[in-house]
């Protein structure tokens, strides 16, 4: 008599990939999708909105009303190495673009530094970008990520 092997559905079925889209400034990628741009792709993994960052005794309060912490996963599929500059990733609300504020990264060990990173073929960079923005604008915010002259646009909410 042989033994039968039970497998969980997750072990036998391939994982469902996230939908992939091409984006424009007027048509950002919806949350949960992978945005392809140039030889790269990016996806928002998580978003957090907080009034301050840090432990109680060392709190850094937002000058504009809210910190938005956006975790992204960026993959480069090109040939020659390129530079990803976290400072060039903007959170746009209306016509105003906000820069990543690396000064507040201490509580987030995986936050991007302010210095650019070199990406080689098939490199993936995952980390958090921190923005100090007005609370009222977060619902309409669009994240712009630039690599090698190409730009992706991702809806934050």
Checking DSSP bridges between strand 34-37 and strand 20-22, what pairing results, if any?
A: parallel
How does residue 115 score in pLDDT terms, banded at 50, 70 and 90? confident
Residue 25 inside a domain? The answer is no
Give the lowest-confidence range in 21-35, 48-62, 129-143.
Answer: 48-62
Looking up residue 74, the CATH number of its domain turns out to be: 2.60.40.1240
| Whether residue 45 has pLDDT greater than 80 | yes
* pLDDT 10s digits, 14-28: 445 567 788 888 889
In angstroms, the CA 103 to CA 142 distance is 22
Residue 31 inside a domain? The answer is no
| Whether residue 111 has pLDDT greater than 80 | no
The closest of 25, 120, 47 to 82, measured between CA atoms, is 120
Look up the domain containing 49 and give its range: 38-155
This prediction has a pTM of 0.80
Specify the pLDDT at position 24. 83
The closest of 106, 87, 101, 89 to 133, measured between CA atoms, is 101
Q: Which residues pair with 79 in a beta bridge?
A: none
Specify the pLDDT at position 20. 77
Task: Give the total number of structural domains in the chain.
Answer: 1
| Whether residue 84 has pLDDT greater than 90 | yes
Specify the pLDDT at position 113. 81
How does residue 109 score in pLDDT terms, banded at 50, 70 and 90? low
Residue 12 inside a domain? The answer is no
Cα(first)–Cα(last) distance of the chain, in Å? 56
Task: Give the tokens for residue 154.
Answer: 């991702």
């Amino acid at each position: 008599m042989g033994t039968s092997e039970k497998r969980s559905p997750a072990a036998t079925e391939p994982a469902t990939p996230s939908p992939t889209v091409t984006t424009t400034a007027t048509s950002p990628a919806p949350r949960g999708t992978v945005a392809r741009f140039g030889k790269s792709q990016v996806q928002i993994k998580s978003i957090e909105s907080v009034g301050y960052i840090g432990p109680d005794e060392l709190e850094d309060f937002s000058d504009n009303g809210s910190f938005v912490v956006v975790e992204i996963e960026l993959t480069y599929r090109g040939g020659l190495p390129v530079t990803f500059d976290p400072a060039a990733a903007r959170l746009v609300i209306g016509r105003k673009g906000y820069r990543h504020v690396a000064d507040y990264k201490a509580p987030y060990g995986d936050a991007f530094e302010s210095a650019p990173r070199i990406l080689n073929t098939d490199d993936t960079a995952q980390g958090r970008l921190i923005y100090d923005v007005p609370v009222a604008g977060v619902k309409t915010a669009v994240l712009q990520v630039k690599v090698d002259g190409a730009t992706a646009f991702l809806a934050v909410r």
